[in-house]
Amino acid sequence: MRGLALSPEAPQKIADFKILDLDPILSGPKHWTEHLSPDLFLLHENEWPMSHDQIGDVIIVKVPESLLNHQKEIGKAMLQQHSNARVVCADNGVKGEFRVRDLTIISHDNSATTRTKVKESGSQFWVDPGCAYYSPRLANERIGTVDCAKNLSLKLGRKVSVCDPYAGVGPALMPLSGLEDSIGEIFASDLNPKAAELLTLNLP
């Protein structure tokens, strides 16, 4: 609510209304780096990571080699800035046969697991960026899959079955599973056993 400027001729007091002196509500820090100590920030002023990913309540950030000794400070500052975050992880690239992210937990609030729940296109499901591939950036492509399935069902005049042998944790299947008028059976699996475990947990 914004205050309105009164005329200079307006009365100093208005009957039945109290005049209150209130402290203004100040905006908080706009970037996580504002939670760092000023001396530390200035020491590496042009090196702090300016972007990061957030999947559920897990923050993933690439930490430059020059800042590896300050990972704890980075993680703590990010948790202070993002009240909906629980874990901050340094992204060390990808690893292993299934090319999952190599994550190092640098700060956490009580729970240090990277398993988290996300919401996408009205569906909620479990993911674990440290164990199985998942990218929120592909959400629009998955919406396209839903539209394609609906159109195919209308064209054929019947429900269609879906088979996804590389389903990951199932983000493309979650919205499809709710299309009772268009989708019949769903067959899904993944080579990554950790992804298959989450897939089983996610599918209704």
E strands along 49-180, which residues? Answer: 53-55, 58-61, 87-95, 100-108, 116-120, 123-127, 160-164
Measure the CA–CA gap between 55 and 163, rounded to whole angstroms.
26
Tokens of 2: 């914004």
d(CA 152, CA 104): 43
DSSP character at residue 57: T
pLDDT at 1: 54
Q: Measured between alpha carbons, how far is 108 from 88 in angstroms, rounded to an integer?
A: 6
Return all residues near 139 (Cβ < 8 A) that are at least 6 apart.
120, 121, 171
* Average pLDDT for 48-71: 97
State the pLDDT at residue 6: 67
Please report, rounded to a whole number, the percentage of residues in the chain having pLDDT higher than 90.
Answer: 80
The answer to whether the pTM exceeds 0.85 is: no
Pairing label, strands 100-108, 87-95: antiparallel
Residue-level pLDDT at 133: 94
Look at 17-26, 104-113, 121-130, 167-176 and tell me which has the smallest mean pLDDT: 17-26
The pLDDT > 70 percentage for the chain reads 97
Q: In the chain, which ranges are continuous DSSP H helix?
A: 38-43, 71-81, 139-156, 173-177, 193-202
The domain 32-114: what is its CATH number? Answer: 3.30.300.110
CA distance 97 to 138: 22
| Listed residue (192, 181, 182, 186) closest to 204, CA to CA | 186
Boundaries of CATH 3.30.300.110 in the chain? Answer: 32-114
